Structure 1
């Protein structure tokens, strides 16, 4: 009996000692490449330093991380998830139906998310995105609404949780759908937030500042970043906002930062392969900022890179061929080439097809036989049809249409991108989400927790366990 008591005492002592000395990770970065599946990553790697006749894929930083696994992402009512259902599961540990933000499928229960839990534990929280900060994925890390489309309600709810740093895009509808509601920015200021929406105000943000909403001063009027491919040199990047978030929130107790590359998804919905690649590269640059922080504190930092879902059913290789070097001849996004075509039509509605072909060659390389981008008869017919519908039949092309808009008539811009993608060896199965699991790349303290495949409801549980929340 005495022997058993001694053994039990030793076990209890060791357990107590372990619980008292066990280290928790202090700094957690969760990077979500919206719509970024394995093929989005690999296509980007093939694009880097691609040369004719050379078979090589240069690794992205995220793909060099020591732990690589995958994550399932079905929603409560569909094998094919939406961003809000996936992000709700990732942030709260509970499934919900497609279309719902932070609530149960019956909309009766508001799920407590990881941001709320981390704040209650006395740590800091940052939420960043390259699209509007009230969009589906970022909103799922703080809001609770019956629909992702309730942008105004989400933006009004945003300041209620004392999150330390919001960064990236603005609000989708700050005064409501009809523009006649109390301003969401004014509401945030009344609740103690500082709005930094100029370069000067952004640069002034410093360590220790609290309750910040930092908005890119150079972006589309609808509140999302310009496309990375379009190289608006004055515009701040997702990497800039990540770096500023670290500067503002760095503290001895720790922080949790969610960073979304939201426009990867938008490019994939539009089947714009090269623009997608540049968004993945911009996202990888933000990951690099966190990695530099990790190198200074490797025993206290955890970086997780993943996605909410894959978009577009992207696949690589047509008839056993890949020519990723051809993708480098696209110099602008499909959206901005649409704008160029619209402006040209307004200025000169009688512009010739040959003049359009010249512009297509400049911005997509198509027609340049010297680099392997000559156009065959079928491809010319496709472009002629798009030209006829857009310039002769007066079909309206809205460069700023919602990224989910489905166009029955493909514009010249979309047709050019389709032809270039096909010549390069990449193709798309749809303009929607797919049901495939998403990649998970991890480095840092506790990385082994992610070494085997898991469901998206387990993500926040794993993070909370490692943070001791």
Structure 2
């Protein structure tokens, strides 16, 4: 009888312990899940920097590992993805459709600047974020009216309409821009100057020089137009324009007193990587990639120190069908070679660093760059 009672008590005790462990496990799992959700929700950036190496595929990135004496800044990223780049009209995109995918989240036709496939204006990320009191900036080593930067402020049916594109910049919601293209603003075919339009819209325009440490008032807007058309090539004396313009933009946009209380958005384009590919000129291409990588390093330094900045590095497409092949069969010598003078359909790398970087791993459509950024912005309190 006593044995049976003890056995009964033992069974009850064991059952109780099992139930307690189960309840505790469930509670722990619930807490863990809650913490995970909280962690994900808090993993959102304040500032967003999108860097576009026009025409930069995997081989272009790889070239920096054989052309630079130190480790390229691409190695500082742990989160890497791939995007599909076909446009709404062609399997192989051009820069206009590729940039519109980033700027407005739309698959559109080749040649389109900020419009959808039906030529209707598509709200771009600069407009969307400006309405949420973000400060915004655009930098390019091309003319600022060229396909990629233009897609972040203009809405025209064809990338060739440079003067029409230029006409939209003074009244746009861009706060800072730097690049070339003076002829499309001041020495136009229609004999019109856009200087008064810039002044009316509170822009200070500099056509002479840009210094990374020059003081800028955060109550004003700034534009730097430093060449007639594109900026010079790196091997023709451009120097540190891209680096200096980016540093100046970061100091100006960060915590901008007028519009930047919710953060800033900055697009930086290494435009001429693409042109080296079109020219089938490996040396031109590599020098442009190294200049872009140098600027990536400065941006990553800023993001690491800031702690609230997401950095995304990608490209609109690959140009040249570029590859790093052996030179005359010698496996100790590398020669850049090309399969086309145009673009290719290869998948394009995406490198991400900072709050929300995990969202950019995997393989996805180029329009998702826009969608992922907007989703994170909309999660902000």
TM range (shorter): 0.7 to 0.9
The number of residue pairs the alignment matches comes to: 342
Q: Does structure 2 retain, via aligned residues, the 8 Å contact 1:162–1:211?
A: no
Q: Does structure 2 retain, via aligned residues, the 8 Å contact 1:25–1:302?
A: yes
Which residue of structure 1 lines up, in the alignment, with residue 66 of structure 2?
Answer: 46
User: What is the Cα deviation at residue 47 of structure 1?
Assistant: 2.0
- Structure 2: distance between partners of 1:262 and 1:183: 26
- Structure 1: distance between partners of 2:76 and 2:108: 33
- Structure 1: distance between partners of 2:215 and 2:179: 14
Q: Does structure 1 retain, via aligned residues, the 8 Å contact 2:212–2:245?
A: no
Q: Does structure 2 retain, via aligned residues, the 8 Å contact 1:167–1:241?
A: yes
Change (3 A) 1:202 1:189: farther
Matched, 1:194 2:215: no
- SS of 1:303's equivalent in the other structure is strand
Change (3 A) 1:175 1:210: closer
Q: Does structure 1 retain, via aligned residues, the 8 Å contact 2:210–2:224?
A: no
- Structure 1: distance between partners of 2:214 and 2:166: 24
Which residue of structure 2 lines up, in the alignment, with residue 438 of structure 1?
Answer: 348
- Structure 1: distance between partners of 2:118 and 2:210: 45
Change (3 A) 1:193 1:322: farther
Most deviating of 167-176 and 120-129: 167-176
- Structure 2: distance between partners of 1:270 and 1:465: 38
1:449 to 348, 359, 377: 359
> Which structure has the bigger radius of gyration?
2
Residue ranges of structure 1 left out of the alignment (5+ in a row): 1-9, 50-57, 325-423
User: What is the Cα deviation at residue 168 of structure 1?
Assistant: 2.1
Residues 307-366 of structure 1: CA deviation (Å, up to 9, x unaligned):
000000012214653555xxxxxxxxxxxxxxxxxxxxxxxxxxxxxxxxxxxxxxxxxx
- Structure 2: distance between partners of 1:84 and 1:283: 20
TM-score by length of 1: 0.68
Which residue of structure 2 lines up, in the alignment, with residue 321 of structure 1?
Answer: 330
- Structure 2: distance between partners of 1:152 and 1:275: 28
Change (3 A) 1:183 1:313: same
- SS of 1:317's equivalent in the other structure is strand
2:46 to 3, 26, 49: 26
The Cα RMSD (Å) is: 2.6
Change (3 A) 1:84 1:322: farther
- SS of 2:285's equivalent in the other structure is helix
- SS of 1:30's equivalent in the other structure is strand
Q: Does structure 2 retain, via aligned residues, the 8 Å contact 1:72–1:454?
A: yes
State how 1:148-297 maps to structure 2 within 5 Å. 148-174=159-185, 179-199=189-209, 204-206=214-216, 208-216=218-226, 219=227, 221=228, 223-231=229-237, 235-251=239-255, 252-297=261-306
Matched, 1:138 2:149: yes
Which has more strand, going by share of residues?
A: 2
- SS of 1:293's equivalent in the other structure is helix
Matched, 1:93 2:124: no
1:106 to 89, 113, 118: 118
User: What is the Cα deviation at residue 173 of structure 1?
Assistant: 2.3
Change (3 A) 1:113 1:316: same
Change (3 A) 1:161 1:199: closer
Q: Does structure 1 retain, via aligned residues, the 8 Å contact 2:312–2:353?
A: yes
- SS of 1:159's equivalent in the other structure is coil
User: What is the Cα deviation at residue 236 of structure 1?
Assistant: 4.6
Q: Does structure 1 retain, via aligned residues, the 8 Å contact 2:87–2:98?
A: yes
Residue ranges of structure 2 left out of the alignment (5+ in a row): 1-29, 256-260
